[in-house]
Structure 1
Amino acid sequence: MRRGDPRPAVSSVTLTYEDGTVRVDAAADADVDAAALPGVESDPRTGTLRAPAHRYREVREALRDRGRDVTDSVLDLADLPPLSSGYVLRDYQREALDAWEGNGRRGVLELPTGSGKTVIALAAVAAAGTPTLVVVPTVDLLEQWHRELSSTFDVPVGRLGGGEQTVEALTVSTYDSAYLRADDLGDRFGLLVFDEVHHLGGEGYRDVARLFAAPARLGLTATFERPDGAHEAVADLVGPVVYDLDPDDLAGEHLADYEVRRVEVELTDEERERYEEAQGTFLEYVREAGITFRSGSDYRELVKRSGTDPRAREALLAKQRAREVMMNADAKLAELARILDRHRGERVIVFTAHTDLVYRISERFLIPAITAETGASERREVLSRFREGSYSRVVAANVLDEGVDVPEASVGIILSGSGSEREFTQRLGRILRPGAGGAGTAVLYELVTNETAEERVARRRR
């Protein structure tokens, strides 16, 4: 301190990145209280303090707030030229970006499918002007994001996943690859973008966010909340929801107008007999066992019992048989035929929960099928032809719900599905892209088997 300088002496603290953590080395006179720093604990192996990498910004700010002289060597960022996305943002997209910026460049945007979340993210990458890692759940999205980043910014774009391992200042990675490379790449990026950020709630995937030191974080999703409550962990790792809209907010002006039509169908006498027998076996057991299914833990308890209790196992199998009867009712195929005829010439996506039903529909109506068994090149070919109009219809078992770049459609038909609100929202989003409904209104049909548990499933997802 210079003679006459009124400022108090400060002590030096050095921050460095080490194997997914931030190492805190304090000078002997620094008097750093670990308990007062977010996430910091003593490391007896090295005689230093240490915090999870994702706490980096909080630790740095806490030290500076306490008047510590911080030598910050955590990030090792490559040079990146000034970036411009070139997109003119719509009003709500600008509001979303501003909300993220206003929250210190941390937080989640919850916007409907087709609303342009990718465009907002590209603008965020340009605004941050720092090396960025985009993390995605599927190889399809890996390729989509690689194309978007490469065509938007005149810089090399790295790729981690899908058989390639290249790292650049702008890189896109699958969640799996980001997890495997986190220890050695955790100090290389200033911004993390998590597409379909709700996936980060999975216990294993959380380490992707924990092991990177990037202070700026952006999450993208159409449905943030998870039934298991894990979205709270995501908020801690990425930031809270800072901007959200639902399909009704954008329908008409930015997304297609839409309506949801519920169509009830009846079981045949033979189907009703099989359903009631199987459902009765299931309900008899759960009543005797006192299982209420008020929470997911009740179902897990039944699964646990099925490992040692033959009656519990039979109840589970009976529940599956009843589900297959109600979701694959013959009347649904008859109603599907009527809907397809009604919307002849329009782009239609048929959603089911069962692969076997996909193939039945494909064979009966000569509709291209996409399932988990469909190879990546065949899937791309089908979607390409759907996009260009060679195919006007596709049928899929769950795989088009998210993580795939699906062309515009104006009609969706749900033959079967779960009670997940996320699944329903994703399927609705497939017909809401701008212009998808043309001059008219996009329509989502729900085919529900009357007087079965499927009625309850349909209520839950709505």
Structure 2
Amino acid sequence: MALHALVQTGVSTLVVVPTIDLLHQWYARLVNALGTRIGTWYSSEKEIQPITVTTYPSAWSHAETLGNLFKLLIFDEIHHLPAPSWHEIALMCAAPYRLGLTATYPHQDNFRSPYAKSKASTNDQLKLFDAINPNDPQALLNELVGPVLYRKHIDELTGEQLAEYRTQRIRVDLYEHEKNAYDAAYATFNGYKRASRLQETHGSAWWHEFTRRSAFDAEARRAKVAELKWKTIIHQAQGKLDVLDQLLRTHRHQPMLIFTAHNRFAYRIARQHLIPVITHQTKAAERKAILDGFRSDTYRVIVTTKVLNEGIDVPTAKVAVILGGSASDREYVQRLGRVLRKQGNAEAILYEVIVRNTADEQIAKRRQPKNKINDFQ
């Protein structure tokens, strides 16, 4: 779609992406597809060409330089644009043509901005962006880039553009000592939540208020420590490691990505199985070496946290294992997307390992509807 927009408009274009890895991927694809010189603008490498690729941080930092040079803006992973500061990229660019791409557009009830007006006076136009709630990413994107014009569900793309796939949810039990510790910690956390009535007084923002209070209120602090404890127990449950051992044996000849909720568990798995790990602490050169080794089959498995949710292209990966994560369906779709690159007729498999009869089940339920998965008790 981006290439069609480039060809049909025939104007100077700035492509904005979230990571340097994606910048290099876009650069390679554009060079191969168009056979022309492509500019890049990031870090110490800054070269302007009629078609230039940059990152969100670089585009924001140099918006005064880039803002009047391009007539078409292409935002890859546009769900990042509403973030504080980054939406200023679109505000400070004069480009009349704009295109956004993402597999995880913010949830919406309709495609039309509630702030859209059929006709506005000069005074109204000056106030255009003042009317937008910065906490409403849909309205912000509609005003800065435009409404959604085209969308496809993953299931509509499988078979031709994407690999066929299946998902399996595997439940495990806590060991007795884990269960005792979990029950005690969860009781402390839940007791405070009920007694404070934060959900009644603060609605969807209750957890942020709870976290704020934990900085100065002793009871809130005790509940916060308990919350961190029970989350650690379910995110690093021994039963998940037992299942992972089985999956590594079952798929010993297939490239695999393992996703965890936290660095500590990722490093624990890496040490136990002697496999490379990528986290936010991994240096750029090491990260590149690991990914190159994975693509060349030097490494068969990588364990990671959230840093590989998006921005990498590893078409050989056809097995993903989620051992922990947030309740975000965006994160789920992004992780599934890592194994959906089509390669022949290979089927992609996503395993989701959760702890039975704990909050882990509710977290998993919120990020992925039950009727779309094979649920193994």
Query: Which among 69, 75, 79 is matched to residue 194 of structure 1?
Result: 75
Please state how far the C-alpha of 1:306 moved relative to its aligned partner.
Answer: 1.8
Deviations 1:30-60 (A, max 9, x none): xxxxxxxxxxxxxxxxxxxxxxxxxxxxxxx
Q: Secondary structure at the match of 2:357?
A: coil
Letter in 2 for 1:282: F
Q: Secondary structure at the match of 2:149?
A: strand
Letter in 2 for 1:329: A
Please state how far the C-alpha of 1:208 moved relative to its aligned partner.
Answer: 0.4
Matched, 1:222 2:130: no
Please state how far the C-alpha of 1:295 moved relative to its aligned partner.
Answer: 5.0
Please state how far the C-alpha of 1:231 moved relative to its aligned partner.
Answer: 2.5
CA contact (8 A) 1:198 1:231 kept: no
Provide the residue aligned with 1:413 in structure 2: 321
- The number of aligned residues is 341
Provide the residue aligned with 2:128 in structure 1: none
CA contact (8 A) 2:314 2:341 kept: no
What is the rounded CA distance, in whole Å, between the counterparts of 1:444 and 1:149 in structure 2? 31
Greater strand proportion: 1
Q: Secondary structure at the match of 1:324?
A: helix
Query: Which among 131, 140, 147 is matched to residue 28 of structure 2?
Result: 147
Provide the residue aligned with 2:354 in structure 1: 448
Matched, 1:461 2:342: no
Moved over 6 A (4+): none
Please state how far the C-alpha of 1:440 moved relative to its aligned partner.
Answer: 4.9
Please state how far the C-alpha of 1:316 moved relative to its aligned partner.
Answer: 1.5
Letter in 2 for 1:306: S
Structure with higher Rg: it is 1
Query: Which among 291, 298, 323 is matched to residue 390 of structure 1?
Result: 298
Provide the residue aligned with 2:208 in structure 1: 300
Please state how far the C-alpha of 1:309 moved relative to its aligned partner.
Answer: 1.1
Matched, 1:246 2:153: yes
Structure 1's unaligned 5+ residue stretches are 1-119
Deviations 1:343-395 (A, max 9, x none): 12011111111111111111111221111111111111111121122222111
CA contact (8 A) 2:315 2:342 kept: no
What is the rounded CA distance, in whole Å, between the counterparts of 2:3 and 2:316 in structure 1? 21
CA contact (8 A) 2:313 2:338 kept: no
What is the rounded CA distance, in whole Å, between the counterparts of 2:238 and 2:137 in structure 1? 38
Letter in 2 for 1:135: V
What is the rounded CA distance, in whole Å, between the counterparts of 1:276 and 1:138 in structure 2? 40
Provide the residue aligned with 2:41 in structure 1: 160
Q: Percent identity?
A: 41
Provide the residue aligned with 2:171 in structure 1: 264
Please state how far the C-alpha of 1:456 moved relative to its aligned partner.
Answer: 0.3
Structure 2's unaligned 5+ residue stretches are 109-134, 369-377
Provide the residue aligned with 2:340 in structure 1: 432
Please state how far the C-alpha of 1:407 moved relative to its aligned partner.
Answer: 3.5
Q: Secondary structure at the match of 1:172?
A: strand
RMSD of aligned C-alpha atoms? 1.7
CA contact (8 A) 1:348 1:394 kept: yes
Provide the residue aligned with 1:365 in structure 2: 273
- CA separation of 1:286/1:183 partners in 2, compared to 1, >3 Å: closer, same or farther? same
Q: Which moved more, 1:147-156 or 1:354-363?
A: 147-156
What is the rounded CA distance, in whole Å, between the counterparts of 1:162 and 1:226 in structure 2? 33
Please state how far the C-alpha of 1:124 moved relative to its aligned partner.
Answer: 1.6
Provide the residue aligned with 2:308 in structure 1: 400
Please state how far the C-alpha of 1:156 moved relative to its aligned partner.
Answer: 2.8
Provide the residue aligned with 1:71 in structure 2: none
CA contact (8 A) 1:192 1:216 kept: yes
Query: How does 1:128-139 map onto structure 2 within 5 Å?
Result: 128-139=9-20
CA contact (8 A) 2:312 2:338 kept: no
Deviations 1:328-352 (A, max 9, x none): 1001001001111111201111111
Letter in 2 for 1:441: E
TM-score (normalizing by structure 1): 0.71
Deviations 1:147-176 (A, max 9, x none): 222333343322221322222221111111
Query: Which among 251, 260, 263 is matched to residue 352 of structure 1?
Result: 260
What is the rounded CA distance, in whole Å, between the counterparts of 1:157 and 1:362 in structure 2? 38
